[in-house]
């Protein structure tokens, strides 16, 4: 209704060279209602006409209907007309109440079926044979003004995606004339039997995800970026048999620092390592550390600057070996805060922040001594990362490790077209989003980078490599 009313007002302005007068303004909603009523009546007639062509109602089948996020879901549509143009529409409401959706155009076979695992999408949100494209190609509702990142803050609640088959090829919800069939799939961030345990012990703030069974399990400390802890990766890792401590170290309400401020000492990370290493369900001395973005810095720091922490392996994703802070403590985004104080950012335009951080690579006092690493290290980077110079940092790490003679421990992988936020498989691309940065009156519009299909490939492939790497180096006899 609002969209149609706005369109009529613009049409009046164009043709009558001025805004609506008071009378016209009062009458316009009535006109809109009449148009909507006629549209509904026409749509009903169209729907009845289309349905009369089917001998059996179309059905959409999802197998399984409940799956862990890194598992494929097989979508199949049956009882369509031969060679019928249809759209597969996927719709998910986020934890914040925002909508993400995708549209994929298919043509049914001569027997009236569409098999998403085998058939090619001819247009819409993606093209080609992409079994999970209906998930990873989802984008925010165009009318969403808050531009929040798609996150998972509570793994105990599934993401529910409604998958519909719509007659014809469409690109927006407003164009839906008839839903032929629909179903819901549940995407879980924890496999059945995984336990999530709140950890508030000896100053540690985090959540421990324990796999099903008695253990002992190999352990992982999971460190996300400067925006804070979330259940994106810890639950899926536990689903693969790793006892995973999702450790908060910044931007958490239960830490005694403001959002975006890092104020902890090495003792905090040592305490977290000791907690996990001594846990009765964790295999002693079988601990790995995984870090994303700012978390990669602390992953490497734990292995190089805290003598009592002896990880078996390290994984860094989209991060570096240098501190974004001027000192041991401070605001992670201090360079953006300083720039904004001089010249405020335009909050309507996504900003690439990579170039703000590149100069730090030339500041030895801000860089960790990676030559001191004594365990295998896997680095993952996206070549279209617009947020962080992860590719450049990985190259510098490789050079420094080669100089130190420990580069045989390094495995480095970069992905063309992948952005900054590389998550478990099939997670929709967060190409940009608004984030809260201290001292800024309005939210900062961050450009993360990435192209949907290339980024989806990077997530699926890197996840397989990460799991293989962790299983190889943390295997429990």
Q: Measure CA 46 to chain center.
A: 39
Active site residue 105: no
Relative to beta strand 99-107, strand 139-140 is antiparallel
User: Mapping DSSP to helix (H, G, I), strand (E, B) and coil, where does residue 160 land?
Assistant: strand
Residue 273: φ, ψ to 5°: -65, -45
Name the catalytic one among 279, 293, 313, 321: 293
Which one of 279, 385, 455, 473 is the catalytic residue?
385
**Alpha-carbon span 19 to 11, nearest angstrom:** 10
Do residues 223 and 199 lie in contact, with contact meaning Cβ atoms separated by under 8 Å?
no
E-assigned strand segments in 301-391: 313-317, 330-331, 377-382
User: Which run of H or E residues covers position 465?
Assistant: helix 452-474
The reply to whether 420 belongs to the active site is yes
Tell me, yes or no, if 385 is annotated catalytic.
yes
Q: How far apart are CA 345 and CA 223, in angstroms?
A: 29
Indicate the SS3 state at residue 390.
helix
- Strand 195-201 versus strand 217-223 pairing type: unpaired
Label residues 17-56 b or e (16+ Cβ within 10 Å = b). eeeeeeeeeeebeeebeeeeeeeeeeeeeeeeebeeeeee
Q: What positions carry a catalytic annotation?
A: 293, 385, 420
């Amino acid at each position: 209704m609002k969209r149609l009313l706005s369109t009529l007002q613009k049409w009046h302005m164009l043709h009558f060279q001025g805004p609506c007068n008071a009378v016209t303004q009062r009458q316009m909603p009535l006109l809109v209602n009449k148009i909507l009523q006629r549209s509904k009546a026409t749509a009903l007639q169209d729907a009845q006409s289309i349905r009369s062509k089917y001998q059996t109602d179309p059905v959409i089948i999802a197998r399984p209907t409940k799956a862990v996020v890194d598992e494929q879901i097989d979508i199949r549509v049956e009882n369509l007309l031969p060679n019928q143009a249809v759209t597969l529409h996927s719709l998910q409401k986020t934890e914040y109440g925002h909508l993400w959706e995708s549209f994929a155009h298919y043509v049914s076979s001569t027997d009236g079926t569409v098999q998403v695992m085998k058939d090619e999408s001819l247009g819409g949100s993606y093209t080609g044979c992409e079994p999970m494209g209906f998930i990873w190609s989802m984008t925010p509702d165009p009318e969403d003004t808050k531009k929040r990142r798609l996150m998972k803050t509570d793994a105990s609640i599934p993401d529910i995606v409604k998958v519909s088959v719509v007659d014809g090829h469409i690109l927006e919800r407003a164009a839906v004339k008839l839903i032929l069939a629909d179903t819901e799939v549940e995407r879980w961030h924890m496999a059945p039997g995984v336990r999530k345990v709140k950890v508030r012990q000896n100053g540690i703030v985090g959540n421990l995800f324990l796999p099903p069974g008695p253990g002992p399990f190999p352990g992982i400390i999971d460190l996300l970026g400067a925006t804070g802890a979330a259940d994106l990766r810890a639950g899926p890792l536990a689903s693969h048999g790793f006892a995973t401590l999702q450790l908060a170290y910044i931007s958490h309400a239960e830490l005694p620092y403001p959002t975006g401020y890092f104020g902890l000492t090495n003792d905090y990370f040592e305490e977290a390592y000791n907690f996990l290493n001594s846990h009765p369900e964790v295999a002693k001395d079988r601990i790995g550390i995984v870090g994303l973005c700012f978390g990669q810095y602390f992953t490497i720091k734990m292995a190089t600057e805290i003598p009592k922490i002896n990880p078996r392996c390290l994984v860094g994703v989209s991060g570096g070996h240098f501190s974004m802070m001027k000192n041991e403590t401070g605001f992670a985004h201090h360079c953006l805060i300083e720039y904004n104080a001089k010249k405020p950012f335009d909050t309507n335009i996504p900003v690439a922040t990579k170039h703000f951080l590149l100069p730090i690579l030339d500041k030895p006092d801000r860089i960790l001594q990676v030559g001191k690493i004594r365990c295998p290290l896997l680095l993952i980077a996206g070549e279209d990362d617009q947020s962080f110079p992860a590719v450049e940092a990985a190259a510098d790490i490789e050079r420094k490790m080669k100089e130190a003679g420990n580069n045989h421990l390094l495995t480095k992988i970069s992905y063309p077209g992948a952005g900054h936020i590389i998550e478990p498989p099939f997670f929709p691309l967060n190409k940009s989003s608004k984030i809260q940065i201290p001292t800024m009156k309005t939210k900062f519009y961050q450009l993360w980078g990435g192209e949907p299909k290339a980024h989806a490939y990077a997530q699926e492939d890197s996840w397989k490599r990460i799991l293989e790497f962790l299983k190889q180096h943390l295997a429990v006899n």
